[in-house]
A and B are shown apart, each in its own frame.
Chain A
Amino acid sequence: MDEEIRRNEDHIDKTLRQLLEELKNAKSEEEIELIEKKIELLEDMIEEKGHKKKVEFKTENDAQEVKEIMDALAESLPKIMDSLMGPLKELLNELYDPEKAEMLGKNIATFYKEMVAAGMEPDKAFELTKNYMESINVVKSLLEAFVRKSERVKH
């Protein structure tokens, strides 16, 4: 790549010197006009090369930036996901443990049956049981508090 650039620069140098020589030795106005046209063409070529170089440099920079972002993501995202998912799974394991769920079911059933046995209407007993369940459901109260807080932040 560097060699090619050097070769091109040498070539441009040579052409410029040649044109200067020709300009010095020019005898007629027609010859001068022809040389001027050649110089203009050369100028255009040089400008185009410079623009291409700039574009190449920019795309190289962008690619490097994307690579860096992807590397950072690949390094940190799995760690973040693991640190989130692990404790969440453990919490669920704790809350929805079959043995604990069975105990909770037993307690709630006893609560409901006792109220019905005491002469309360089944609908009313059901409402109270639901309230009782809500009060002992830690996850729900936590989530509700979280939702309330996020809504407050939004407003």
Chain B
Amino acid sequence: MLSSIFKVSYIIPKVLWHVAGMKRIIKHGKRAFEQSLKENGVPEEIVTELVKEFVFIDEIISVQFLRMIISQEKNEIK
């Protein structure tokens, strides 16, 4: 029983570790994309907007997004 509880609770840090890995991958891609745009002479404001568009998935894998979903679910339940 105790080992099962330990195994189940071990999943949380494991998932967080995976999420951190995903964030790292996205960050590397984002940096390369941003640098490439800047090097090719795209204005700064446009670079910022395009980078936002490129890494929209970074917003999805975030605490804020999770909070937003939870609050939406709560409202739907009410």
- Asked whether, in the complex, the Cβ of B15 is within 8 Å of the Cβ of A92, the reply is no
Whether B3 sits at the interface, judged by CB under 8 Å, is yes
What interface size band does chain A fall in? 35 or more
A residues near B29, Cβ cutoff 8 Å: 95-98, 100-101
Binds B, one of A11-19, A26-34, A48-56, A65-73: A65-73
- Asked whether, in the complex, the Cβ of A105 is within 8 Å of the Cβ of B40, the reply is yes
- Asked whether, in the complex, the Cβ of A140 is within 8 Å of the Cβ of B56, the reply is yes
- Asked whether, in the complex, the Cβ of A81 is within 8 Å of the Cβ of B14, the reply is yes
A residues near B66, Cβ cutoff 8 Å: none
- Label chain A's interface by main secondary structure: helix
Whether B68 sits at the interface, judged by CB under 8 Å, is no
Known contacts A78-B7, A93-B25, A129-B46; decide if A105 and B14 are in contact (CB<8 Å). Answer: no
What interface size band does chain B fall in? 35 or more
Convert B1-40 into 0s and 1s, putting 1 for each residue whose CB lies closer than 8 angstroms to a CB of A.
1011101101100110010011001101111111111011
Q: Give bound CA distance, A55 to B31, whole Å.
A: 63
Binds B, one of A2-10, A38-46, A106-114: A106-114
B interface list, Cβ under 8 A from A? 1, 3-5, 7-8, 10-11, 14-15, 18, 21-22, 25-26, 28-37, 39-43, 46, 49-50, 53-54, 56-57, 60
